[in-house]
């Protein structure tokens, strides 16, 4: 199964196997990784599943849709490599994906 590495703000790393099709947000929530809140449960309604996508992984995760782009511009500490992790679906092509978690989602 493809893997994602989540790096918490304090540097703690979690390497997690996700099922193809699962969102990166769900992988964090399922493993109780601190730093992703996912208040709305993956409905793209809250921007608290915000992550920074490392290096050249960003274009490989796809392009944010309009809803995500709107929400992202208001996420706490958004950067150019920010994505809402509820909108990134895991695939074999994303095996090895690395995301960093912000210090706070609120």
Partner 1 sequence: MNPGGPRIVIIGAGHAGGSAAAFLRQYGWKGPITLIGEEPIPPYQRPPLSKAWLKGEADARSLALRPAGFYAEQRIELRLGSRVAAIDRTARTALLDTGEALSYAHLILATGARPRRLDLPGSGMAGVLELRSMADADRLKAALRPGARLAVIGGGYIGLEVAASARALGAEAVVIEREPRVLSRVASPALSAFMQDYHCARGVALELGATAEALEGTAGRVTGLRLADGRLVPCDIVLIGVGAVPNDELARQAGLDCAGGVTVDLAARTSDPDIFAIGDCTIRPLPLYGRMGRLESVPNAVEQAKQAAAAICGRSPLAPEAPWFWSDQFDLRLQFAGLPFGAAETVIRGDPARPGFAIFHLDPEGIVLAVEAVNAAPEFMAGRMMIARRQRIARDRLRDQSLSMRELAA
Per CB under 8 A, residues contacting partner 1 are: 29-30, 32, 34, 37, 39-41, 43, 45-47, 67, 70-71, 73-74, 106
C-alpha closest to that of 105 among 30, 24, 40, 50 = 50
Q: How far is the CB of 100 from partner 1 (least distance, A)?
A: 18
Question: Between the CA of residue 91 and those of 4, 10, 30, 75, 81, what are the distances in Å?
Answer: 10, 27, 17, 25, 19
Q: Where are the alpha helices (DSSP H) in the chain?
A: 24-30, 57-60, 66-72
Query: By C-beta, is 40 or 98 nearer to partner 1?
Result: 40
Query: By C-beta, is 8 or 54 nearer to partner 1?
Result: 8
Query: By C-beta, is 43 or 103 nearer to partner 1?
Result: 43
Rounded Cα distance between 67 and 86, Å, is 12
Q: How far is the CB of 10 from partner 1 (least distance, A)?
A: 13
Q: How far is the CB of 40 from partner 1 (least distance, A)?
A: 7
Query: By C-beta, is 34 or 96 nearer to partner 1?
Result: 34
């Amino acid at each position: 199964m493809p893997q994602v590495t989540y790096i918490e703000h304090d540097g703690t790393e979690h390497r997690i196997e996700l099922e193809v099709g699962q969102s990166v947000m769900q992988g964090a929530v399922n493993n109780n990784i601190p730093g992703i809140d996912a208040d709305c449960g993956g409905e793209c309604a809250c921007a608290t599943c915000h992550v920074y996508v490392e290096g050249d992984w960003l274009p490989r995760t796809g392009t944010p849709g309009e809803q995500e782009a709107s929400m992202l511009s208001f996420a706490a500490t958004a950067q150019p490599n920010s994505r809402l992790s509820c909108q990134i679906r895991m695939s074999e092509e994303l095996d090895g994906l690395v995301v960093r978690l912000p210090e706070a989602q609120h």
